[in-house]
Amino acid sequence: MEKEAKFVSSEFLENFRESLKQMSSFSQEMCSYIETGITAPYLTKFAKNCNLLLTAITEWCEANLDFIENIDVLKEEELKKAFNSYCHMESYSETLRALEKAVYQRFPLKNAYHVFFHSVPLELYYPRICAAADKITQILTKIFFENCTFFEMGGEGQIAKEAKIIPMVMFGDSPYYQISTSTLEEKKQKIILFRADIPRCDVYRYRLWPLLAHEIAHVKLNKTVKAELRSPSELYISYPSEGQKLYEKLEGALTLEILNAYKNSDIFSNSYKNKPYQFYSPVAFHIDELLADIASASIFGLPSLFSLICIAGDPSFDLITRNALPTDHPPLSIRINTIKNYLKTLGGQSSYFTEALSDVEYDISSLEKTIYHFSAFEDLINSYNSAIESNFGEIIKFVNDYLISKPEINHPHLWTHYVSLYLNDQTNLNDACSKPIECFIRAWAKRWAVYKRLNDGGHNSFKQFISYHKHETKILGQLINDLNRM
Ligand SMILES: [Zn+2]
């Protein structure tokens, strides 16, 4: 028995050693590749961040190699420790693979570098787009996480940890916008990689990037109020208890009311009559979706609403109907309605802003009637909406007080400003824009102004607005330039 155990241990250690050596030399190779490959100033920050992560990976590998090297007798304790590190290796090597992809997307022209990653458009423009996408993600991360202190559970309770967040965008095969985080140790601090996945088809559909704000809001929720996700290795943010209480209250009230809405609908009686708990937990996620939607709307304003409609509201998808079924996302029409109601509270005197909102209202309801046959779910949607309305004040309070720091710009005002300039031909796209969020508002405002002109101020062509691409390339060029200059 003893012999067998020893054999398994040495084989395991041998494998572990080999993997660590490979990972370490690969990350060092990549570090020097970046150092020799860097040419453009807009990639300097990426190179610095990437090298920091790669150094942390190398250090981790080397420390473990030292440790394994010094094990002469396989004591149970040491083996346990080695096995523990081995379990972490998967996350380190996944981070390494992600970095390889990120590096290749930004330095694609070095043919000396052998890569497995395929089918990224190898255009000169591509690194510039990646750098701009990094930039907007960095700014959003700052809006959500500025002044936050990270903690982890130590021997005697919480310990504050210096943590550096590094956001990095990857355009790839993911059909969704999503953020995944991984935490690495460095000598002085913890490093959290925020890996933002954007579907490759949205490389040039930059106007949809405001969707990243929604995803970063999820990360903030997970690292604060979602206590069940905390584990000793997970960094989280200590949260004011009144924020936690408000969240729990909202989650409790809304989940019950939403569940009731489903209970009273045909959907429930036809499909879920005998298994009500089957969709209890998906419904509990709805509150996060709505909070993330409002957070995104509070940062970007109308562009966040339009992005959502673009990504999820294409009439060729029967999403409103499909999403009326209990899934982990609220029905699309509920999300649109919630954002719209929130934006209405901000509108004030901004005429083009309120006009755009009422156009959306008109067009969406006509789409709902004619394409989605929404009336089949009218009762459900109505009770769902009133569940949200009865908690609306607290939803907004939670977003403003606990989810984001105050939005840095007055987006209703900017919207009206740009739409009126474009409608009166008083500006052209060559004027530089100095604030990142404003760049997106300007781009969507341009699109909106063109749409209003096409329709002579009339209705019914919302789809045309959503799928209008004429100025896309030109606006993209400007947006990328502006972001990379900041
Ligand atoms: Zn979401």
- At 429 the pLDDT is 61
Task: Please report, as a single letter, which amino acid is at residue 380.
Answer: L
Distance (Å) from CA 113 to ligand 1 centroid: 36
Six-digit token string for 221: 């929720």
Quick: pLDDT tens for 200-231.
888 888 888 999 999 999 999 999 998 777 77
**In this predicted model, which residue has the larger pLDDT, 316 or 31?**
31
Q: How many CA atoms lie within 13 A of 293 on its CB side?
A: 27
**In this predicted model, which residue has the larger pLDDT, 119 or 27?**
27
**CB neighbours of 251 closer than 8 A, spacing ≥ 6?**
284, 287
Distance (Å) from CA 218 to ligand 1 centroid: 7
- At 382 the pLDDT is 87
Distance (Å) from CA 72 to ligand 1 centroid: 50
Confidence label for 468 from pLDDT (cuts 50, 70 and 90): low
Could you give the angle at the alpha carbon of 8 between the alpha carbons of 6 and 14, nearest 5°?
100
Quick: pLDDT tens for 60-96.
999 999 988 877 666 777 878 888 888 889 889 999 9
Alpha carbon distance 363, 322 (integer Å)? 20
Distance (Å) from CA 414 to ligand 1 centroid: 26
Q: Is the pLDDT of residue 114 over 50?
A: no
Distance (Å) from CA 115 to ligand 1 centroid: 32
Sheet holding 163-172, edge to edge: 163-172, 190-199, 178-185
For a pLDDT cut of 70, what percent of the chain falls above it? Answer: 80
Q: Is the pLDDT of residue 120 over 50?
A: no
Quick: pLDDT tens for 352-377.
898 888 888 877 777 666 655 566 67
347 closest CA partner among 357, 337, 338 = 357
Alpha carbon distance 5, 397 (integer Å)? 58
Distance (Å) from CA 451 to ligand 1 centroid: 29
Q: Is the pLDDT of residue 107 over 80?
A: no
Mean model confidence pLDDT for the chain: 82
Quick: pLDDT tens for 220-274.
999 999 877 777 778 889 889 999 999 999 988 988 888 888 877 776 666 666 6
- Rounded to an integer, the average pLDDT of 382-405 is 92
Say how far residue 325 (Cα) sits from the centre of its chain: 24
Residues, CB-to-ion distance under 5 Å, ligand 1? 289
**In this predicted model, which residue has the larger pLDDT, 194 or 188?**
194
Distance (Å) from CA 105 to ligand 1 centroid: 26
Confidence label for 427 from pLDDT (cuts 50, 70 and 90): low
Distance (Å) from CA 199 to ligand 1 centroid: 15
Q: 0.85 cut: is pTM over it? A: yes
- At 316 the pLDDT is 56
Distance (Å) from CA 296 to ligand 1 centroid: 11
Distance (Å) from CA 474 to ligand 1 centroid: 30
DSSP β-ladder status, 190-199 and 163-172: parallel
Distance (Å) from CA 292 to ligand 1 centroid: 7
- At 461 the pLDDT is 60
Distance (Å) from CA 485 to ligand 1 centroid: 31
